[in-house]
Amino acid sequence: MTSREADAMRRPAFSLPPGTCDTHVHIWGPFDRYPVAKGAPYTPPERNAADLRALHARLGVERAVIVQTTVYKSDNRAMLDAIAASGGAYRGVALIDASFGDAEFQALHDGGVRGVRFGFVKHLGGVPDLALVQRTADRIAPMGWHLVLHLDAANIPEFEALLRGFSLPVVIDHMGRVPVAEGTEQAPFRILLDLLKRENYWVKVSGAERISAEGPPFRDAVPFARKLIEAAPDRTLWGTDWPHPNVRWDPDEADLVDLLPEFGDDDALRRVLVDNPARLYGFA
């Protein structure tokens, strides 16, 4: 048995509370039904909905939010089919393009989608069409949806004016991808903390493996997660980011779960893991 195979069998030491939601996962495949889009920025291994269910059974996760990746661009079928088969346990965050109109948005809503994601990360295509971002924000706000923004740390000061202009709920992925080596006083992190003073801003304390400088088990990310939860305990979410596209270290998800007690006390974790995602995504 390889070390990765052993990791895939290990259960975390920390017991997640009932109703825990992993708010950041992706699925790819089966590729014979859902082929990768032409021009996709990377070609991932197949990781389908059955693999996701197996992961969550190991971790003790009951709910999930599937986040569409650039692998499929605006073809959201794999995500929608997984949501439909989940018995109400999954929601989704879609990618859209300029062709989407009322019928397409309504079909996404009926399929369990509650947000649209835009990425600013250079290796995934860079800055999106900002006019489309604004039009989409205006279009989805009346539906009770939110924006999800995937930013590099440098994007936060660069686009601070844009970020401060939104009035609908906005979720920032992966702690803003701020590098831990630059400390909690770095300008992008200070701006992120200030944005969280606004009632419409949310953040995911996911991506410890992305921002870490030390590597597994990524404890150097803990001070950042703690400060974000302290800043907005009712607007913080958590996710594994499985299957971890384009990472330096491929983590054991049990390690990510076992970091959680260092993020906050039981009350804070109950909000982050259960109450906040239930409210944002409309779980019962």
Question: Which residues are the active-site residues?
Answer: 241
What's the rounded Cα separation, in Å, for the pair 235 and 251? 25
Q: Where are the alpha helices (DSSP H) in 18-125?
A: 49-59, 77-84, 102-110
Q: Which two tokens stand for residue 206?
A: 């996911």
Q: Which residue matches tokens 């950042």?
A: 224
What's the rounded Cα separation, in Å, for the pair 45 and 21? 24
What's the rounded Cα separation, in Å, for the pair 229 and 231? 5
Cα–Cα distances (Å) from 109 to 13, 100, 115, 173, 278, in that order, read: 37, 13, 9, 21, 16
- Total Cβ atoms within 10 A of residue 176: 26
Q: Is 14 helix (H, G, I), strand (E, B) or coil?
A: coil
Q: Which two tokens stand for residue 154?
A: 């440098």
CA contacts within 13 A on the Cβ side of 143: 23
Sorted by sequence, the CB contacts under 8 Å of residue 6 that are 6+ apart come out as none
